[in-house]
Amino acid sequence: MAVLEGVELTPDIEGRYYHGKMQWICIHADFRERETGREWQLYWWPAIAARDEGLVMALYQGDRVINLSRFHDPFGTMSFADRGANIVYPDRTSLSGTFPHYDLLLDATDNLGTSYGLSLSMDAESKAFEAVRDLRGIDWYYVPRFRVRGTLRTWEGEVEVEGTGYLEKRRGRFWAPGTRHGLWESLSAQGRQGLAVPLFYKVWKNDGSPTLQTLCFTRDGLTMHDLDSVEVEILETRAYDDQIEHPVRFRVTAEGPDARATLNVTRNPNRLALRDFWGEPDPTRRAVGIYGPGFTEAIVEDGTGRHETTGPSFGSALYFWVQ
């Protein structure tokens, strides 16, 4: 079991890289309306891909999936600064700031003509970490805990919201050739202290063998424990087209020399499903991503005892195949 120390997330790391590798900043946030307690989730992911630029962006509320995404725009559509997390996707959204504070703005219309607005102030309540440092061809940094506050505008007007969030900065290939599918889930801490599992990820090759497996947990936001032996038991699926049975309920068990973790994940079946959303240099290769919130129960047993937490989580499954 590796123990990861916090790293410095500098403006140079946050900024754009000048070569052909895919790069993005990704945010998900769980927040409540301050007066009513009604829960919302945000997924926000603008990316410079190999052939184009695009934006995965959605709001979730109960059974609603509000798709505000945009894809296959030419290079240069998005303004991505050289330094700092300063991104503008025209007529849609922007992010500004540098660790430990960011401001996110959203002003977009769905395909039914309904306008949505979101203004979030994001303040880090943990250190930044470097994920899977031995993963060749990918640089991957993440901040597992933010406090978010702001305002949300919907068809009902404007309300104040508050909650938690997560951010990652990544550069490199989407996934390596020969990858079949991947599954991930992230559970933020419910307070400044306390158990969080900000990164469970497992990726399988076409032959069924794993190419990446990790489960990271933290109790204080200052150090991260990385378990690199991860098993997934699928308990329930929901069909998506004729090739995919998407897991909506599954159990994850992870082990290391000094710790064991268990996640029981139940996903909201109302999810954003996207096909071929990035331009792919190989025209025979296809990708599907299925994104959305869920609820996760986490148990960690280590040398300090047994630690448990439950709460809203966010995750996706990615499927790649040649056809």
DSSP secondary structure letters along 104-145: EEEEEE-TTS-EEEEEEEEEE-S-BEE--TT-TTEEEEEEEE
Q: Write down the pLDDT at residue 162.
A: 97
- Is residue 281's pLDDT more than 80? no
Flag the least confident range among 134-143, 202-211, 234-243, 297-306. 134-143
> What percentage of the chain carries pLDDT values higher than 70?
95
Residue type, 144: P
Closest to 254 (Cα-Cα) out of 199, 177, 309: 199
Between CA 20 and CA 198 the distance in angstroms is 28
Whether the Cβ atoms of residue 279 and residue 209 lie closer than 8 Å to each other: no
**Per-residue pLDDT reduced to its tens digit, 208-225:** 999 889 999 988 888 889
Contacts of 242 (CB under 8 A, 6+ apart): none
Residue type, 194: G
Number of helices and strands (H, E) in the chain?
Answer: 1, 24
Which CATH number fits the domain that encloses residue 225? 2.40.370.10
- Is residue 96's pLDDT more than 70? yes
Between CA 34 and CA 20 the distance in angstroms is 43
At residue 301, the 3 state secondary structure works out as strand
Q: Write down the pLDDT at residue 129.
A: 93
Closest to 189 (Cα-Cα) out of 225, 228, 146: 146
Between CA 118 and CA 281 the distance in angstroms is 34
Q: List the domain range (segments joined by +) for residue 64.
A: 2-322
Residue type, 43: Y
- Report the pLDDT averaged over residues 285-301: 92
Residue type, 109: T
Whether the Cβ atoms of residue 177 and residue 46 lie closer than 8 Å to each other: no
DSSP 91: T
At residue 207, the 3 state secondary structure works out as coil
Number of domains into which the chain is organized: 1
